[in-house]
Amino acid sequence: MSIQKLVNQVIMRNENFIETAEELKPQLHETIVKPTSIVAIKADSEAIHGWSSEVVAPASTLSDSEFGKNDLFVLDFGDHQVGYLSLKIRPAGSPPDAPLKLKLTIGEMPVEIAEPFENYKGWLSSSWLQEETIFVDVLPAVITLPRRYSFRYVKFDVIDTSPKYQVVFESVECRAVSSANINTVQKISHQDAELQRMDEISIKTLADCMQDVFEDGPKRDRRLWLGDLRLQALANYETFGNNELVKRCLYLFAGVPDDKGKVSANVFVAPQLIADDTYLFDYSLFFVATLHDYYVATNDLETLKELWPTAYRQIEVALERLDENHILKDSSDWWSFIDWQEGLNKQTPSQGVLIYTMKQAILLAEELNISEKDNLKARLEEIVEASKTHLWDKGQQFFISGTDRQVSWASQIWMVLAGVWTKEENNKLMKHLLAENPEVGIATPYMYHHLVEALLVSGEKDRAIEEMKSYWGGMIQDGADTFWELYDPNNKDFSPYGSNLINSYCHAWSCTPTYLIRKYAL
Amino acid sequence: MSIQKLVNQVIMRNENFIETAEELKPQLHETIVKPTSIVAIKADSEAIHGWSSEVVAPASTLSDSEFGKNDLFVLDFGDHQVGYLSLKIRPAGSPPDAPLKLKLTIGEMPVEIAEPFENYKGWLSSSWLQEETIFVDVLPAVITLPRRYSFRYVKFDVIDTSPKYQVVFESVECRAVSSANINTVQKISHQDAELQRMDEISIKTLADCMQDVFEDGPKRDRRLWLGDLRLQALANYETFGNNELVKRCLYLFAGVPDDKGKVSANVFVAPQLIADDTYLFDYSLFFVATLHDYYVATNDLETLKELWPTAYRQIEVALERLDENHILKDSSDWWSFIDWQEGLNKQTPSQGVLIYTMKQAILLAEELNISEKDNLKARLEEIVEASKTHLWDKGQQFFISGTDRQVSWASQIWMVLAGVWTKEENNKLMKHLLAENPEVGIATPYMYHHLVEALLVSGEKDRAIEEMKSYWGGMIQDGADTFWELYDPNNKDFSPYGSNLINSYCHAWSCTPTYLIRKYAL
């Protein structure tokens, strides 16, 4: 476990930017969704996490049953939902002479329904596990739970009624919410059914993460992270085209930089806009990337002009970390995300991110026709050359990272995306990477996205599709309704948090297949 | 465990009566109460239930501390409260990056705070145990819990925050509610400090049970029972004088009789007025007693006229249960409450209740000057004679009950209250009872009230005070802030429900010392 806690974080609020972001706050679309089935969650050694769902009866039969002390049932909403639950409950038998005590367990995956949350021992807060214990003093009642949940399954444990009465659940429904409008998406009919399905699930994943900001995961952490935003925005341009929401998110980050001008890795929007005290080298630079992509998608010159200083400042701050050889200093207190991969050295992939975003910054500076472009170009040339000199291992034909000269997938991928070598050289490097398969691999869909894009930009389209099919296709095989935060085909119980109960099973950074399919015409 | 469940209960709603009751619905008085101390609940073999409370710090120091995962504290509100809790919580440390999960355990007694509710195995619904587990998604927050609690102590278990932040409880308060107005009570300054304290605690008990009806217990069952109402009304006439509330309760019972005209033992007032499907021989008759006492207190002839038919009907129905000897039929499906005493035969005490209430009915009929009075008088004479003939055991000089000729305290007490013998004979009987101490004793403060009143009406004032001091005085010694539903000085863990966790520690039927002290000028 490793977290960043700053004691002396100083935030320079830009009230104009914050006001612009506030004005762009979207109206949420609401849809009433009813459960489809009553299901049983059964132990199943073939299924992911060891649990599968089995239909017991249509949900429409629910109101035929009376439930008393220790009775339970599980409802399946048929697909992933993000929204608010409401329950219509009436008593059966004598007048209710004691409150109803009801426990709800709300899960995206069967494992969350089957395995007791009490057993959770991970290092992220257990408060993310979705459950409620409610007391109903007066029956009949319509109970509208005030919190938003992210789920497909809901387990109802009737803890107690009284010996004199039972309860009937007349209706259970979800008021699903999203700022995405599904009608704005141009449907595709892909001849490859697997890619077609991948496109659909990507879009569902993105929609469920599109709330009043682009959230990373509607179950956890429910907030705006820059690294996730960049990928969501890319998927959004190809689908929902909700460009105002991207703009809003850019203004949110730009509204609360620190006293050095750095944007934080994530922001909270309630009770008001707050910059988290987590700063990540790569995520700050992705402000540049996200602004770049936004401008390419919209040609919104006014926003570019207003946000350019924020973007440029991220490059300036990043450049301060270069040593005399124009290489990023590596250290033990190094905060760059790149991937959850255990033991990954972040130096070279971060150097790749710097080069990648500097190129985007130069394009934006050219668009603005401002003098910074010349300085950026000069610095870029030095950095690219230095990377070839100091980070490229001719013998191994790989980029190395850190004092231990680590060869990781991430280093090669980011250097390819950064375009340090030519397309042909990159193609050779990617093939070499796939063939050699260095030990320090890829842990997250976020990094898999970059692998696939690196394959695509280096001309390995077929291999890119193959990787997508084995990875996101694997999730589909394993029952994904939306794409997951984490997926390791070789260790399906993987969680960087100490328990897969707390993993998010609808996660923004996994939504990119629709972008990859549509952008690269796969 | 034994409960009454009727399948074919037919209710004849009297909408005029229900409307009258609705118009009499009181406005509740509200008082903001702050906790006095942070306390520790400690194992203490000398204390009731084995737990006592020890002051750790003044409650005003609470906001000096930060609480994180697994931290807990207990607040003491200094006295019994009935009301709504609100908490003002702010985060400390990094911005809250996960919800706060907080468990509240709310208890009238230290035992409720100390012993896990999970261990409760009693036969009443566990849903009465007062606890809440809440998730707070956005901090800082002011949380107003929607349910009403009855308590003195609140335990706060911070189940989880996150590794990045803790919470500070800036304030915790209770919005206490009651329809009793303490300013209307004439204070007494008793030379006997023990009786003075007993009077005060009685009044507090009554006040906390006076909500929009006279509740039996604000923790459990929170509803209007006829047997409790009768005693509350008596205490009320001597103290708060809130006669409108008694009137309202009489109209509530009269509003929902069954198709035979019987009033139920208790009614629910939410979501609307509902008669419970529990009918008790003695409780139905107490409608007569309560109307009688109300009329004596108020001279409200209009109400007497309107409710007389309901009262008279209870006598008529009761008389149907007499056998050819004018003795109540005993049977195994006999529903008369009398007391929670294990093994108690209800025949003779119920015969006593019948005689007691018939005498009150005759007084009311005389007041109304209606012909029923003559019939009632004639029947009463037969019944009293029959009781002397068939239920009095000359050899033992005790009333016996049931086919096993059980000699119980309850039989003697009710026959004394019914005035079957003369005052002198009653005095002899009560002394004989105290001397012989038959095995089938008294289980509840409700029956103790009747013992004390039987001693008072038979001229044993000193002995009555002695009993009050050992019984209600015992509760005070054992730490009562309000008088308890159940108290057995010889078995302080006694509960008829299988666990003292579920006992009510502020219970209407225990509030009568103020009535006894003031009415009989003790």
Q: How far apart are the first and last CA of chain B?
A: 38
Residue whose token pair is 């009688």? B292
Report phi then psi at B518, rounded to 5.
-80, -45
Per-residue tokens: A395: 């013998």
Mean predicted confidence (pLDDT) in A241-256: 98
Tally the residues of chain B: 522
E strands in B117-253 = 131-136, 141-144, 149-160, 165-178, 224-225
Closest CA to A319 of A402, A406, A258, A378: A378
Chain B contact for A123 (CB, 8 A cutoff): yes
Tally the residues of chain A: 522
- In one letter, which amino acid is A446? Y
Asked if residues A229 and A289 have their Cβ atoms less than 8 Å apart, the reply is: no
What is the secondary structure of B90-105 as a DSSP string?
EEEESPP-S-EEEEEE
Asked if residues B127 and A161 have their Cβ atoms less than 8 Å apart, the reply is: yes
pLDDT, mean over chain A: 97
Q: Which residue of A has its CA nearest to B92?
A: A7
- In one letter, which amino acid is A422? T
pLDDT number for residue A83: 98
pLDDT number for residue B332: 82
Asked whether the predicted pLDDT for residue A257 surpasses 70, the reply is yes
Closest CA to A303 of A361, A244, A386, A385: A244
pLDDT number for residue B334: 85
What is the secondary structure of B209-235 as a DSSP string?
HBSSSB-S-TTTT-SEEHHHHHHHHHH
Q: Other CB atoms closer than 10 Å to residue B188's CB: what's the count? A: 15
3-state secondary structure of A491: coil
Closest CA to B229 of B511, B468, B499, B522: B511
pLDDT number for residue A126: 97
Per-residue tokens: B123: 């036969």
Residue whose token pair is 């977290």? A3
pLDDT number for residue B369: 97
pLDDT number for residue B298: 98
Task: Give the CB-side neighbour count of residue B245, counting CA atoms within 13 A.
Answer: 28
pLDDT number for residue A332: 82
Q: Which residue of A has its CA nearest to B124?
A: A162
Q: How confident is the model at residue A491 (pLDDT cuts 50, 70, 90)?
A: very high
Report phi then psi at A307, rounded to 5.
-95, -10
Report phi then psi at A175, rounded to 5.
-95, 95
Mean predicted confidence (pLDDT) in A398-403: 97
The DSSP bridge partners found for residue B86 are B144, B173
pLDDT number for residue A512: 98
B268/A127 Cβ within 8 A: no
Asked whether the predicted pLDDT for residue A35 surpasses 70, the reply is yes
pLDDT number for residue A5: 84
Report phi then psi at B424, rounded to 5.
-65, -45
Q: How far is A258 from chain B (nearest CA, A)?
A: 15
A101/B127 Cβ within 8 A: yes
- Select the residue from A2, A6, A66, A94 to test the B interface by mutation, using most B Cβ atoms within 10 A: A94
pLDDT number for residue B333: 81
Q: Which residue of A has its CA nearest to B223?
A: A97
Asked if residues A38 and A58 have their Cβ atoms less than 8 Å apart, the reply is: yes
pLDDT number for residue A4: 84
- Cis before A110 (ω within 30): no
pLDDT number for residue A334: 85
Asked if residues B151 and B130 have their Cβ atoms less than 8 Å apart, the reply is: yes
Using the Cα atoms of residue B399, residue B404, residue B408 and residue B414 in order, give the sign of their dihedral: negative
- Cis before A140 (ω within 30): yes
Per-residue tokens: B359: 């005498």
pLDDT number for residue B323: 98
Closest CA to A421 of A387, A464, A378, A461: A387
Per-residue tokens: B97: 């990056």
In order of B450, B476, B477, the CA distances from B513 in angstroms are: 11, 12, 15
Q: Where is A31: in which H helix or E strand?
A: strand A29-33
pLDDT number for residue A484: 98
Report phi then psi at B246, rounded to 5.
-65, -45
Asked whether the predicted pLDDT for residue A1 surpasses 70, the reply is no
**H-helix segments, A239-270:** 243-255
Cα Rg of chain B (Å, integer): 25
Q: How far is A34 from chain B (nearest CA, A)?
A: 25
B96 contact residues in A (CB cutoff 8 A): 268
pLDDT number for residue B273: 98
The proportion of chain A whose per-residue pLDDT surpasses 70, expressed as a percent, equals: 100
A95/B162 Cβ within 8 A: no
Per-residue tokens: B260: 């035979």
- Select the residue from A97, A103, A159, A215 to test the B interface by mutation, using most B Cβ atoms within 10 A: A97
Distance from C-alpha of B451 to C-alpha of B456, rounded to nearest angstrom: 9
Q: What is the mean pLDDT of each run of 10 residues along chain B (522 residues)?
A: 79 97 98 98 97 98 98 98 98 97 98 96 96 98 98 98 97 98 94 97 98 98 97 98 98 98 98 97 98 98 98 98 97 91 96 98 98 96 98 98 97 98 98 98 97 98 98 98 96 94 98 98 96
Chain A contact for B146 (CB, 8 A cutoff): no
Asked if residues A11 and A257 have their Cβ atoms less than 8 Å apart, the reply is: yes
pLDDT number for residue B7: 78
Per-residue tokens: A222: 């429910």
Closest CA to A44 of A122, A145, A114, A98: A114
A97 contact residues in B (CB cutoff 8 A): 125, 221, 223, 268, 276
B270/A97 Cβ within 8 A: no
Mean predicted confidence (pLDDT) in A175-184: 96
Distance from C-alpha of B312 to C-alpha of B376, rounded to nearest angstrom: 10
Report phi then psi at B46, rounded to 5.
-80, -20
Report phi then psi at B487, rounded to 5.
-160, 120
Task: Tell whether ipTM is more than 0.90.
Answer: yes
Nearest neighbour of A133 by CB, restricted to B3, B133, B220: B133
Chain B contact for A270 (CB, 8 A cutoff): yes
pLDDT number for residue A53: 98
A137/B147 Cβ within 8 A: yes
Q: Give every CB contact of residue B310 below 8 A, 6+ residues apart in sequence.
A: B253, B254, B257, B261, B263, B287, B291
pLDDT number for residue A249: 98
Model pTM?
A: 0.97
The proportion of chain A whose per-residue pLDDT surpasses 90, expressed as a percent, equals: 98
Apex CA B510: angle with CA B505 and CA B514, to 5°?
A: 125
E strands in A137-294 = 141-144, 149-160, 165-178, 224-225, 266-268, 274-275
pLDDT number for residue B478: 97
B224 contact residues in A (CB cutoff 8 A): none
